Amino acid sequence: MCLAFSLFMPLLSLFLFSRDDRSAHEVSVDRSTMAEHILEDEEEGLEVTDEQKIGLATWFLLKSPPGEIQQVAKSIRGVLMDERLFDMAAKEAFPKYNMEQMIAIDLADHSGQVLLTKYGAIDVSQHLDPRTAQVAVIDHVKQVCTDVRPAADDELPSAFVEEHRASIDNELVKYVEEAFPKGNCAVYCTCGKDVESGGDEFELKAVISATKFSAQNFYSGSWRSVWKIQVNQELQTVEINGKINVIAHYFEEGNVQLETSSECSNSTLLQSPADTGVAVVNVIQYLESDYLGVLEESYSKVSDNSFKELRRKLPVTRTRFSWNNALQLSLSREITKELSLTR
């Protein structure tokens, strides 16, 4: 009985906890009580309601490895065997997934790409591309851009903030081009977009996202870093706080996944927009390279220590195990013991 319960405890906590790591764009409120419902139903016996099925399907979609959500969607369709339920789950899961994974979509007029993030979302299906001051209309489930329009004035920051934003963006693009073979980046103003010179603080978010997926080589991976840049005009400082998330998935004859993350921070002085841009990106570059170094070290430590502690290559005898002798050896041990006891 306790085993059956323990199988459901993780499911229960999953639905309780998944409320916390949600993005700004919320999903239906029912989710919080889903867990209780599932547990209740489990005690009564049998049926899983449609609502619960949608919840479970959404969970699978959200947990898709980088670049694999379409494959997961196909499989979930096969498991659900109900198009209506799948559509509802997809409508809920895809926008959240696209924004969490920060995927890049080609603009409808082929003029470039737009990153889908919660920082640039004007509403669920309209996303701002700050670099070109355009707004893209997105179909999340198909993961395409259906329309592009220029951004309205109130969707853009003030000229003063824009100067800083653009300068950081320019430097960031240069850095990303050098360090990330398939990376995209964007800088958004997330707070104080109407601030003028000599005024209050404002906050920018620099986002870097790189995804790779190769079905024939059986791997996929993504790097996402989000850098919060707080500019304090009074103190003339710039605070930089970053979160880096890396996922790697290898699936030839199995399923191996790496999940690693890091939080780091630093600060620099506020200078002219051009110089601030260079300084901020230098900090970002330094912290990210540092993280890469820590990762490399973790890999070699785990490979040298933990792995070797699990299983030896050969027994201490330096020969393979003697299967036909082992029992005789242990039998003869038993017999010797018996003889010595009865003596």
Partner 1 sequence: MQVGRLRMQAAEEGGRERERVKERETKRRDILFVRAGEHSEKHQRRIGVRVAMEAAMDLMRRMPPTQVDTALSSLLLLLPQYSSELLSRVDQPLQVAWDAECLKHYLLCDYNRDGDSYRSPWSCKYFPSLEDGAQPSDQLRKLEVEANEIFAIYRDQYYEGGISSVYLWEPEIGGGFAACFLIKKDGQGRRGLLQHGLWDAIHVLEVGEEDEGLAHYRLTSTVMLSFTTKDAPSVSFSLSGSITREMQADLSVAEGHLTNMGRMIEEMEGKLRNGLDQVYFGKTKEVVFTLREPLGSLTATSATGQSLQQVVMDDILRK
Length of the chain: 343
Rounded to the nearest whole angstrom, what is the least distance from the CB of residue 9 to partner 1 in the complex? 9
Please report, as a single letter, which amino acid is at residue 220. Answer: S
Both structure tokens of 241: 């706080």
Query: In which residue are the tokens 């379409």 written?
Result: 70
- Cβ closest to partner 1, residue 107 vs residue 292: 292
- Cβ closest to partner 1, residue 149 vs residue 308: 308
Rounded to the nearest whole angstrom, what is the least distance from the CB of residue 198 to partner 1 in the complex? 35
- Beta strands 126-129 and 202-214 are unpaired
Rounded to the nearest whole angstrom, what is the least distance from the CB of residue 153 to partner 1 in the complex? 36
Please name every residue paired with 221 in a beta bridge, in sequence order, or none if there are none.
Answer: 212, 248
- Across 210-240, b (16+ Cβ under 10 Å) vs e yields bbbbeeeeebbbbbbbbbbbbbebeeeebbb
Rounded to the nearest whole angstrom, what is the least distance from the CB of residue 33 to partner 1 in the complex? 16
Count the neighbouring beta carbons within 10 Å of the beta carbon of residue 16.
15
- Cβ closest to partner 1, residue 134 vs residue 209: 209
Rounded to the nearest whole angstrom, what is the least distance from the CB of residue 206 to partner 1 in the complex? 15
Q: What is the DSSP letter of 46?
A: -
- Cβ closest to partner 1, residue 12 vs residue 124: 12
Count the neighbouring beta carbons within 10 Å of the beta carbon of residue 147.
14
Please name every residue paired with 23 in a beta bridge, in sequence order, or none if there are none.
Answer: none
- Cβ closest to partner 1, residue 102 vs residue 231: 102
241 SS3 class: strand
- Cβ closest to partner 1, residue 53 vs residue 228: 53
Cβ(212)–Cβ(221) below 8 Å = yes
Rounded to the nearest whole angstrom, what is the least distance from the CB of residue 230 to partner 1 in the complex? 19
